[in-house]
Structure 1
Amino acid sequence: MTRGPATPLPSPKARRRLREAASLTQTQLAERVGVAPGTVRAWESGRTTPRGRKREAYAKLLKTLAEEEARQAAPPPKTDPTRDRASGPEARAGAEAEPEPEAVREPEPVPEPEAVREPEPEPVPETVREPEPVREPTPESQPRSTREPVPEPRPAPAPLTPAQAFDALYEFSAPALVRQTFLLTGRREQARESVERAFQTAWERWPEVARDRDPVGWVRATAYEYALSPWQRFRPRHRHPEPPPADPGDRTLLNTLLRLPPRHRRTLVLYDGVGLDLPETAAETEASTPAAAHRLLRAREAVAGRLPALADPQVLHRRLAELASNERLGAARPPSVRRGGERRARFRTRAAIAFTVALIGTTALTVRTAPTHYEPPVSPGQAVRGVPPRVAPGSLSDEELELRQKLRDQLQDGPERLSPQLE
């Protein structure tokens, strides 16, 4: 049985815009759909996609919100004040009795001349028929030397394969994403690895990423999540610091960014570095718009407190771009990224298969060796009162040795039997 097509949904940004236009919070929308607020936050950021009945309910609710927004945005219909009269027999009778003024009366339609059918002319003899006008030469009848060149129709471009589309997306966005991730982490290798991991995840889920309206934003959100993961601090590479930028101004700006909390740093990079607007920044950071604005203001205050020259947002944007461009941050080739992701997927698949086989083998061995009936446990021993404890035999005394020898020398069969005799 084939699975039916999933219910179409708008983009994550459009979902957030519809919810905010209806003045609904994530908690209120989650209650109407029947899910947790965190689930709605993940849907609006594009991290997850609803499925099954939840997807149908979510799509129906978004469609209702879109219809309400379109109804509110539509202008009211214009009415003619001269025709705003009550409809009824009395009104119609009054309208027939009272003629309309000349300024309001509409002109009667006049038939166009083309609509009037002219009488057919009588046939003229061939001797009196007028000569036909000379036709101008068409482009086909002109000589090849004077004919204008006609451009040949270009063939339609062939559709791209998934690998070609992935390579085009990687070459277009990977260098910029590596520079942006460097502003978040301050580490070159970690930024490069985060972007490669994000693109490998995108290749594993390529049907979903290819249909997304903003595939670059999808990859950027995944790369930022991996780069800012708290597990990065436990890696051996994180213990060894990398050389700072050569320019003192760049070094001071980078240290100021790294002192910010991860959420404030990410919001500042997205808004002042990448150039996203506030709703898009809030959606990508999985926060509300007021919370994103508050984080942005706090981050700007912290940067301006240490570097007063960057209090202007335009100057801050230019300095962030210069800091990211001054570093030599390269990216791997698209085929190597795709092969690395495929190797990692094969390794995880084989590891899952091996773990499943080991679990099945362990379960079978346990079932095979387990007892088939109940064996009651042996109760611990208890001392009985009045019975002397059992003593181990020791060496015999002289009297005991003499008695033993005497018993051995005597007959062991007992006394001789008396045979009965007749009297």
Structure 2
Amino acid sequence: MAPTEPGTTPELPDKHDASGTSVTDSPSATRAAPEAPEMPEASGAPAEAFDALYKSCAATLFRQTFLLTGRRNLSQESVARAFARAWEHWPEVAVDRDPAGWVRAAAYEYAMSPWHRLRRPHRPLDPPPAEPGARALLGALLDLPPSYRRTLLLYDGVGLDLPETAAETEASTPATASRLMNARAALAERLPEPAEPSSPTEQSALLHQQLGSLARAQPPDSLPSPDAIRRDSERRARVWTGAAISFTLLIIGLTLFTLATAPSRYETPESPAQQVGGVPPRGGPQKLTPQDLNLRKKLQGELVRGPARLVPDAG
């Protein structure tokens, strides 16, 4: 199967009824659209509605994120963070037309974040499956570029149609179709079995069956309870709220301190001192010598008997 150009839309099977919550709902070759989970009225019991959504989607979402990452711990963390974020934004999620899709998009975004490469616990992959076919499929899937992997999982695994897949991956429909066909071609090179069906519909059904079998082999036995998710979400909200309030009070305090200590009028700063050269020495009488000082003392000590007069000599 030759890769298609990004500007062209290849022939793909139409799926108008796939709401998309699981890769494990239809193990047969003919794919059935998974049904959305039934939830209580959000206005009456938000916690019950959240718990119903969690119980119906958490295990499936864990299996999906494992196919994206190949790491169980990261998949569990992604599911927990996605549902914690959903509880923080529950008024928005409760009225969304597809709450499961809202949580799925949040879990996928967190699971495929490139920052996880810097975290040592999430660097190595988990041991591959023992079955050769499953091991080869998972290895080929993880070797795909992240955008191709997510597109293939949403379309052939979850069961979304092409416009829904394009919307969730934030790409155009032609680009999404190109990613899907290129991902199928890459899998066909690594796995000869997906290339055997003659039509795209049969190939999509076969990939759906294989991805479902691979996902069902991952037991979600260590997922936290919905109560723990809600408590953790509320605790995080309290911590962030307290941090925001503390930061706001700090800014207000610094502002008040600045207003109290700042000068009320402008004062011209003093010019820096400079060395002055070329000034002549100070003029005036010179410093008295010791003889001059003795004479002045002597004159000041004698009695004054009148002004001394010069008598002219008549002779």
For the criterion TM > 0.5, the same-fold answer is: yes
Q: Aligned AA for 1:357? A: L
Deviations 1:261-300 (A, max 9, x none): 2111110000111111112211211222222111100111
Return the match for 1:276 from 149, 152, 160.
160
State the partner residue of 1:321. Answer: 212
Q: Return the TM-score normalized by structure 1.
A: 0.54
Match of 1:26 in 2: none
Q: Alpha carbons of 1:409 and 1:272: their partners in 2 closer, same or farther (altered >3 Å)?
A: same
Q: Which residue, 188, 195, 216 being the options, matches 2:79? A: 195
SS of corresponding position for 2:299: coil
3-state SS of 2:78 partner: helix
Q: CA shift at 1:380, angstroms?
A: 3.3
SS of 2:272 mapped into structure 1: coil
Q: How many angstroms apart in 2 are the aligned matches of 1:280 and 1:200?
A: 24
Aligned length: 252
Q: 1:246 to 1:360 in 2, by over 3 A?
A: farther
Task: Return the alpha-carbon distance in structure 1 between the equivalents of residues 70 and 125 of structure 2.
Answer: 10
Contact residue 78 and residue 107 of structure 2 kept, 8 A: yes
AA paired with 1:325? Answer: R
Could you report, residue by residue, the CA deviation over 1:311-345 in whole angstroms, capped at 9, with x for unpaired residues?
A: 23333222211221112333211111111111111
| SS of equivalent to 1:415 | helix
Using the alignment, how far apart are the partners of 2:97 and 2:122 within structure 1?
Answer: 35
Please report how far the alpha carbon of residue 364 of structure 1 lies from its aligned counterpart in structure 2 after TM superposition: 1.5
Q: d(CA) in 1 for partners of 2:177 and 2:189?
A: 18
- Following the alignment from structure 1 to structure 2, what is the Cα–Cα distance between the partners of residues 226 and 355? 27
Letter in 1 for 2:216: S
Q: What does the per-residue CA deviation read over 1:60-102, in whole Å, with 9 as the maximum and x for residues that have no partner?
A: xxxxxxxxxxxxxxxxxxxxxxxxxxxxxxxxxxxxxxxxxxx
2:160 alignment partner, SS class: coil
Q: 147, 151, 172: which one pairs with 1:263?
A: 147
Whether 1:355 aligns to 2:247 is yes
Distance 1:414 1:293, change over 3 A: farther
Higher Rg of the two aligned structures = 1
Shift of the alpha carbon at 1:414?
6.3
Separation in 2, partners of 1:202, 1:168: 13
Q: Which residue is 1:245 aligned to?
A: 129
In structure 1, what is the Cα distance between the partners aligned to 2:219 and 2:93? 29
Give 1:169's match in structure 2, choosing from 42, 49, 53.
Answer: 53
1:408/1:325 Cα in 2 relative to 1: closer, same or farther (>3 Å)?
Answer: farther
For residue 164 of structure 1, report the CA deviation from its aligned partner. Answer: 0.9
Q: Which residue of 2 aligns with 1:372?
A: 264
Residue 195 of structure 1, CA deviation: 1.3
Q: Does 1:178 align with 2:69?
A: no
Q: Which moved more, 1:242-251 or 1:281-290?
A: 242-251
Unaligned runs of 5+ in 2: 1-39, 196-202, 282-287, 310-315
Instruction: Tell me the alpha carbon deviations over residues 218-267 of structure 1, each in whole angstroms, 9 at most, x when there is no partner.
Output: 11111111112232223343345433333343333222222222111110
Change (3 A) 1:386 1:195: same
Q: Supply the distance in 2 between the matched residues of 1:327 and 1:384 (Cα, whole angstroms).
A: 88
Question: What are structure 1's unaligned runs of at least 5 residues?
Answer: 1-157, 390-402
Distance 1:191 1:411, change over 3 A: farther
Separation of aligned partners in 2, 1:317 and 1:362: 60
Cα distance in 2 for residues equivalent to 1:245 and 1:412: 120
- Cα deviations by residue, 1:155-207 (Å, 9 ceiling, x for unpaired): xxx96511111111110111000100111111111111111111111112222
- TM value normalised by structure 2: 0.71
For residues 365 and 236 of structure 1, the distance between their equivalents in structure 2, rounded to whole angstroms, comes to: 44
Q: CA deviation at 1:415?
A: 2.7
Q: Is the 8 A contact 1:245 1:327 kept in 2?
A: no
Amino acid at match of 2:304: S
The residue number in structure 1 matching 2:304 is 419
Aligned to 1:337: 229
**Match of residue 207, structure 1, among 80, 91, 101:** 91
1:310–1:316: 8 Å Cα contact kept in structure 2? yes
Cα-Cα RMSD: 2.8
> What amino acid is aligned across from residue 203 of structure 1 in structure 2?
W
Tell me which amino acid in the other structure corresponds to 1:260. L
1:121-173, CA deviations, whole angstroms, 9 ceiling, x for partnerless residues? xxxxxxxxxxxxxxxxxxxxxxxxxxxxxxxxxxxxx9651111111111011
